[in-house]
Amino acid sequence: MKSAGFRYHDPQRIDDLLSLLGRFEDAKILAGGQSLMPMMNMRFVQPEHVIDINGVQGLDGIHADAAAGKLRIGAMVRQKTLMQSAALRAACPMVPQAVAHVGHFQTRARGTIGGSLCHLDPAAELPLVMLLHDAVLTVQSATEVHQVDMADWALAYMLPAISPDEALIEVALPLAPGWTGSGFVEFARRHGDFAIASAGCLLDVDDRNIIRRAAIAVGGVAQVPTRLPEAEALLVGQPASAPAFAAASDAARKIDALSDAYYTAAYRQRLAGVLVERALGQASKGTDHG
């Protein structure tokens, strides 16, 4: 179980990275390595070139861009750092809660936000959270820069909207999204496993406990992390309480789910319903996420 051979590159500047990407047909970016390395060890992937971006300057910061109203997260920010960032916690209280489910502290010391978004496991936590928060991703090649809304990021099962000559540079979140509460619930057999299913939701509830806005997404259920606009629509204008949550839960169960050797689509649909309801319960309890 040893990796096949490859050529190793460790660019120090974004320009060099992009030029390498433009030059090679068969290259893989090595970020935190927590998904790529196992696949290389098992020879499931055998790239001709590995481009290690751990040394690239300018990819590992988190900063608030007040002018743009964005919190900008470099693609190489480690999961451990995400959990500890006060700025991120302020803009997005769900992050520490969700990232605590990402693998184990040893893998979070290496794993990155960019790696997680590009690997795009349907059950991964970070794509779900970013989808829920309407993150915008900056993707760059040697010749152009463009932004991708998180809603457009997942093209298909583990297939993000990024070309082989492009790199994910930055993830931007709204700095003050105005949600009054958030909830994240994950169902896995063991702590740190990829979830069988997970659900996250955000609520904006007014003084009279009426839901002004809602965002709901589920992970691990469908081919890609999925927003549930119908369930969201059912909530808006309703009191933030059990009947509305039950209705949203019923809507969540209708998602087109995947099945595998262990769990059927029907079971995942059931979990989607249960977890959405539980996440909404959390979200309605307010913004205090400890």
Partner 1 sequence: MGARLVGAQVQRLEDPRLLTGKGQYVDDIVLPGMVQAAFVRSTHAHARIVSIDTTAARAMPGVRGVFTLNDLGPAVARDRMPQTAPSPAIRRSVTQYVLARDEVCYVGEAVVMVVADTRHQAEDAAARVLIDYDVLPAVVDCRAALTGQTAAHHGAADNLAARLSVGFGDIEAAFRTAPHRVTLTLDQHRGVAHSMEGRAVLAAQDAVSGKLTVWSATQSPYMVRRFLARVLGIDEQDLRVIAPDVGGGFGPKAVFYPEEAALAAAAVKLGRPVKWAEDRKEHFVSTTNQRDQHWQMDVAFDDTGKIHGIRGHVQHDNGAYLPYGLILAATSLAPFPGAYALPALQMTLDVIYTNTTPTSPVRGAGRPNAIFAIERAVDRVADHLGLDPAEVRRANFVRADQFPYVTGMKARDGSPVAYDSGDYAACLDRALDMADAAGFPARRDAARAQGRYLGIGVASFIEDTGLGPFEGATVRVTPKGRVTVLTGAASQGQGHATTLAQVVADGLGVALTDVTVISADTERFSYGAGTIASRIAVTAGSSAHLAAAKVRDKVLRYASDKLEVAIGDLELNGGFVHVAGVPEMRISLGDVALALAGTVGQRVPSGLEPGLEATAYFESTATPHSSGSTVAEVEVDIETGAVTLLNHVIVHDCGKVIHPGIVDGQITGGAVHGIGNALFEDMLYDAEGQPVSTNFGEYLLPTATEMPPIRIGHLETLSPLNPLGVKGAGESGTIPAIPAVVRAVENALAPFGVQINRYPLNPERVVNLIDASRGKT
Partner 2 sequence: MDDIRHIALTVNGQPVECDTPVRLHLGDFLRGILGLTGTHLGCEHGACGACTVLVDGEAVRSCLMLAVQANGRQITTIEGLADPDGTLHPLQQAFAEKHGLQCGYCTPGMLTSLAAFLRDTPDPTETQVRDAISGNLCRCTGYQPIVEAALLAAARMRQTEGVR
Q: Considering only 18-26, 32-40, 240-248, 270-278, which stretch makes contact with partner 2 by CB under 8 A?
A: 32-40
**Interaction between residue 86 and partner 1 (CB under 8 A):** no
Site for partner 1 contains 194 (CB under 8 A):
yes
Say whether residue 176 binds partner 2 (CB under 8 A): no
Q: How far apart are CA 211 and CA 232, in angstroms?
A: 10
- Candidate residues 19, 107, 141, 238; the one interacting with partner 2 per rule CB under 8 A: 107
Q: Which of 23, 42, 146, 164 binds partner 1 (CB under 8 A)?
A: 42
Stretch that binds partner 2, among 6-14, 150-158, 195-203, 269-277 (CB under 8 A): 6-14
Q: Which does residue 267 touch among partner 1, partner 2, none (CB within 5 to 8 A, set by kind)? A: partner 1
The answer to whether the beta carbons of residues 140 and 167 sit under 8 Å apart is yes
Binding status of residue 3 toward partner 2 by CB under 8 A? yes
| Count of residues that bind partner 1 according to CB under 8 A | 23
Any idea which residue has 């299913």 for tokens? 197
Give the DSSP letter of residue 184: E
Closest CA to 101 of 198, 171, 30, 202: 198
Q: Report 223-282 residues binding partner 1 (CB under 8 A).
A: 261-264, 267, 270-271, 274
Q: Which residues pair with 29 in a beta bridge?
A: 51
The site partner of 264 among partner 2, partner 1, none (C-beta below 5 to 8 Å per kind) is partner 1
Q: Which of 25, 163, 190, 243 binds partner 1 (CB under 8 A)?
A: 190
| C-beta of residue 100 within 8 angstroms of C-beta of residue 80 | no
Q: Can you tell me which of 16, 19, 22, 37 binds partner 2, judged by CB under 8 A? A: 37
CA distance 36 to 119: 8
- Binding to partner 2 by residue 23, rule CB under 8 A? no
Element (H, E) at 287: none
110 binds partner 2 per the rule CB under 8 A: yes
What letter does residue 31 receive in the DSSP assignment?
S
260: DSSP letter: -
Q: Which of 86, 163, 189, 207 binds partner 1 (CB under 8 A)?
A: 189
Residue 3 within binding range of partner 1, rule CB under 8 A: yes
Q: Judged by CB under 8 A, which of 138, 193, 223, 247 binds partner 1?
A: 193
Contacts of 212 (CB under 8 A, 6+ apart): 204, 205, 206, 236
Specify the residue for token string 């090679």.
24
Is position 285 an interface residue for partner 2 (rule: CB under 8 A)?
A: no
Q: What is the C-alpha separation between 240 and 23, in angstroms, rounded?
A: 53
Closest CB to partner 2 among residues 104, 254: 104
Among candidate residues 215, 45, 32, the one with its CA nearest the CA of residue 114? 32
Q: What is the largest CA-CA distance in the chain?
A: 63
Q: Is 57 in the site for partner 1 (CB under 8 A)?
A: no
Per-residue burial over 50-78, b if 16 or more Cβ lie within 10 Å, else e, is: bbbbeebeebbebebeeeeebbbbbbbbb
The site for partner 1 (CB under 8 A) is made up of 1-5, 42-43, 187, 189-194, 196, 261-264, 267, 270-271, 274
The site for partner 2 (CB under 8 A) is made up of 1-8, 10, 30, 33-34, 37-38, 41-42, 50, 52, 54, 80, 103-107, 109-110, 190-192
